[in-house]
Amino acid sequence: MPEQKPNISSFLLALISGGLLPLALAPFSWWPTAIFSTFILSFLCRGQSIRAVFSLALVFGLGLYGVGTSWVYVSIHDYGNASIELAGQLTALFTFGMAIIFALPLSLFGLFRNAPPIAATLAFPALWVLGEWMRSWFLTGFPWLNIGYGFIDTWIAGWAPLFGVMALSGFIVFCGALCALLIEYSQSRQVIGGGLIAVLFICAGGAYLRTTNWSSPSGKPINVALVQPDLPLLEKWKDDELKKILVNFQQTNETLLDQDLIVWPESAIPTLKSNIEGFLDDIHINLKEQHVALITGIPINTSANRYYNSVVGLGRASGTYYKRRLVPFGEYVPLEQWLRGTIAFFDLPMSAFSAGAARQEPIQVGSLQIAPAICYEIAYPDLLAKDSRDANILLTVSNDTWFGNSIGPHQHLQMARMRALENAKPLLRATNDGITAVIDQRGKIREQLPRFEAGILKAEVTPFSGSSPFSRYGSLPIVGLSFAILIMLRLFRRFR
């Protein structure tokens, strides 16, 4: 395809298609928009130079993150006490930065500007997958808006326990790039037939794999109570609120002694563990006598004067988990010596945490092992995959109040569903103001509480043992395959 430099219409189309892509994700779940959006971007980038592809992908990324992470404005303005103007500027800066990171790997598509169209159709999804992978670790990572999440309720979700969410993204982008190819070869029966066979294989293979049991029940079901206290985010950190919160914590636990496990959300107790050791000891002894396990979020400080966002086990539960992936500005402040104290947003409560060790022991409840993840960590596929191998139940606690009344909590819940599906283990999700839910080993929501309401979700959960291929190998196979495709296509071009 001869190069035609992008014009204003091309950039406008890229911006609109990028803004449409988040509609494929929760809470909308209009998954065909993902195929349409990636088709448009693939079509616009065909035959373009590296610089032109970067420009188109950058504009597409502005639409993608401008709509898909619009909740960033809510966090900065509503809870960071930033003015409308400052919150808008910071949100725009974040969106622009993410758009650059999104565009960088895709710009390499310009290397295939003179490649055969079929080769370009394979290169585009391979670069997209590598882009999602890069965004999971670059500058600590922000693995948000992977489009594979939007297909968790479709046939192709069956591939997730094998290769993870990035593989689903690759399949969808391949379909989009294939549409662009079919437009160019609309008269070729071979190309149309080959494309249909590839799509049928992806869909039929996923449908078959959805019936596969990668794990199996182990032991009797346990009765679980997930507490959603719905406490105002900023008010709960005030000193005069602590006594009320502790009284409610103790009284609520007393009403749940008929349960096997009680779970409270992230930072359910808004004070350092060292400040209430006696209070927690009494609860621990009482619950242990009643054969009840409790897991709660609470910040912890160590003798080395380091602070951790943590969950602890009390009663029949034992163990402590320190959060490993921290939220920039929410839990630590980059360039702290310059930014701390400049505006209220850089002085949010508990924004001076340290990251926990890379490898940590699971929370034990009798013979059961529970793999925890705190809030933002549930967005990292490989992080939980390592912990899930020997776990019987997955757990994520969160404080989604930061999202306000936005699409953020729905996206967050969808990620948790994918982690359960990838690792073939049931997952418990306890949040401060929703969406608290119980998710089975196939990623289906079995029970949930509405947002912005205090409540207790009681459910019977069956522990599972075994591990899926993704639990064992993580994203390595799909990332390796993407690299291999690009290398083979370049070598084929050289020796053709």
Burial code (b: 16+ CB inside 10 Å, e: under 16) for 17-33 equals bbbbbbbbbbeebebeb
Q: Is 444 a catalytic residue?
A: no
Q: Provide the sign of the torsion angle of the four alpha carbons 109, 113, 118, 121, taken in this order.
A: positive
- Considering the candidates 45, 175, 179, 375, report the single residue annotated as catalytic: 375
Amino acid at 278: G
For 332-351, the DSSP string reads B-TTHHHHTTTSGGGG-TT-
Beta strand pairing call for 261-263 and 307-315: unpaired
Token pair in block for residue 223 = 């009765």
- Considering the candidates 236, 273, 323, 425, report the single residue annotated as catalytic: 323
Strands (E), 31-96: none
Cα within 13 Å of Cα(264), Cβ side: 27
Q: Provide the sign of the torsion angle of the four alpha carbons 309, 311, 314, 320, taken in this order.
A: negative
Instruction: Give the Cα separation of 362 and 365 in Å (integer).
Output: 10
Q: Is 323 a catalytic residue?
A: yes
Place of tokens 């390592």: 386
- Considering the candidates 132, 179, 266, 422, report the single residue annotated as catalytic: 266
Cα-based distances in Å from 261 to 47, 166, 229, 276, 433:
58, 33, 17, 22, 20
Q: In degrees to the nearest 10, what's the CA dihedral of 149, 358, 217, 26?
A: -20
Q: Is 45 a catalytic residue?
A: no
Judge whether 324 and 305 are in contact, CB under 8 Å. Answer: no
For 269-311, the DSSP string reads S-S-GGGGHHHHHHHHHHHHHTT-EEEEEEEEE-TTS-EEEEE
Judge whether 175 and 183 are in contact, CB under 8 Å. Answer: no
- Could you list the active site residues? 266, 323, 375
